Amino acid sequence: MAGAVLLARDDAQDAAVETVLAVAETVALSPFTVESLAAPDPVSRLQPYAESTRLATHTDFIVVMAPDRRRYSHPKPELIGQRFTGAIEGALNGGQVVEVFAGSLGESVRAVVPVRAGDGRIVGLVSVGITTEEINRRLTRQLPTLAVVTAAALALAAAGAWLLSRRLRRQTHGLGPAEMTRMYEYHDAVLHAVREGLVVVDGNGRVTLVNDEGRRLLGLPEDTGTDRLVADLDLPAAVDELLASGRPAEDEVVVAGDRVLVANQRVTRFAGRRLGTVLTLRDHTDLRLLAGELDSVRGLTDALRAQAHEAANRLHTVLTMVELGRTDEAVRLATAELAVAQQLTDQVVGAVTEPALAALLLGKSAQAAERGVEFVVADGSRLDGPALPSRDLLTVVGNLVDNALEAVAGTEPPRRVTVFVRADDDEVVVRVGDSGPGLPADRVTDAFRRGWSTKQDGRGLGLALVGQVIRRHGGRHTVGTAPTGGALVTVRLPRRS
């Protein structure tokens, strides 16, 4: 309020200066004033004119004087003829004088201007003033209005501040500045320290946060900024689809480059309003590979257990036939089964000198036999020495065979899976065909990028893991139709130097 009063006082004083200057200039430029100064009795003409003008303009004095300071008009007639007190030098030089001066009427704001004759000579001066007391009276009359306006402004500012504070409290869930600072520091440290990828997307599809682990898992550069649309980021296809859809997901397996990720996505809401989605990612690449190898071992164990049970039945049969004296038939039964098993073993071991791959093929043949599937290692298969890392070779062959076995499951006999593995000087070729329903042409891309299988849910990781190995080694793949009518998948990988 005090500041407003001071500003109003300054404005009132400036207005007074403008008023006295305007009135002084008007009187000085009046032809009547010039004529009166040249008359024999200037006082009789100028005193009534000055007083009427003073009353009309609401000023406190109008003094017309000679250049030697002698007054020709004054609100106090007894002072007419006496010398004017105050500065006039600037006006005598053709300029203006504006000052606050304590004269005969008290302190006042006054202006002095020259009166010029027709030839330009200064023949007199005009001084017009408003007392400081009058300025204060005018200001006092304005104080109620000023107080009302100030109070209204303060009330409006207070209401605005209250509304702004209420909105900020609502936006910050009631947290104060210190609490928000601490929360930001703690949350920022936690988000960058956790070993789980985090991606936050707002309701407009813009990525607002990606932590360090999320950048690593998704292959995003460190300088990739946030506040960008999901479509503008070079994300793996499966992750891009999940973020764009905004649908909830729980422990969904997605393939991102060479990694197998488990994704969970939740929709965030506040007060019933959807704010966006939060996606978390866990790296399960090594775990999935180990789980696949464990499944292969478990399958081989089950097959060996079944074969042991079957062998025990045949052994009992042979022994019974020997006891019955039918030794020739017993020998033929025993050697026939042995010849079939030995023939496949000799074929695999003779064609594949890589022990891990040979063991894998024998194990898959046992699984196929248990499922009633004919397992054939195609003629011309040959693999000498470590042409590729064993782990990658087992991933390609094992997953292709598993997919083929899944494809023929439940189909009408005869069910058949054919495997061809060969290495030359430049590349390793793996070809697996089956007698199943085949792989639709429009699903080939999805199968190798996002995971697809012939299972009921249509999703798996077999071909996706094969696709990882192909991309890592710079290989290629083709999908065609096998002679038996099913899918024929061919993978070509450059041989390791």
pLDDT tens digits for range 354-395: 777 788 887 788 778 778 888 888 888 888 766 778 778 888
Same fold, 2-138 and 288-494: no
pLDDT exceeds 80 at position 127: yes
142 alpha carbon, distance to own chain's centre: 55
pLDDT tens digits for range 414-431: 889 999 988 887 888 999
257 φ/ψ sector (left φ>0, alpha ψ -120 to 50, else beta): left
pLDDT exceeds 90 at position 115: yes
- Give the pLDDT score at 347: 64
Averaged confidence pLDDT in the chain? 80
Instruction: Tell me the average pLDDT across 127-142.
Output: 77
- Give the pLDDT score at 310: 65
Instruction: Tell me the average pLDDT across 290-308.
Output: 64
Q: Assess if CATH 3.10.105.10 describes domain 184-283.
A: no
Highest mean pLDDT among 54-68, 197-211, 297-311, 482-496: 54-68
Considering only the top CATH level, what class is 288-494?
alpha beta
- Give the pLDDT score at 62: 92
pLDDT tens digits for range 173-226: 666 777 777 777 777 777 777 778 888 888 788 888 888 888 888 878 776 666
> 496: pLDDT confidence band, cut at 50, 70 and 90?
low
pLDDT exceeds 60 at position 460: no
pLDDT exceeds 60 at position 8: no
Would you tell me which CATH number, out of the four given (3.90.700.10, 3.30.1050.10, 2.60.40.10, 3.30.450.20), belongs to the domain 2-138? Answer: 3.30.450.20
pLDDT exceeds 80 at position 147: no
pLDDT tens digits for range 71-94: 999 999 999 999 998 888 999 998
Amino acid at 292: G
* Residues above pLDDT 70, as percent of the chain: 81
Instruction: Tell me the average pLDDT across 251-271.
Output: 79
**Annotated domain spans of the chain:** 2-138, 184-283, 288-494
* pTM, entire model: 0.46
pLDDT exceeds 60 at position 153: yes
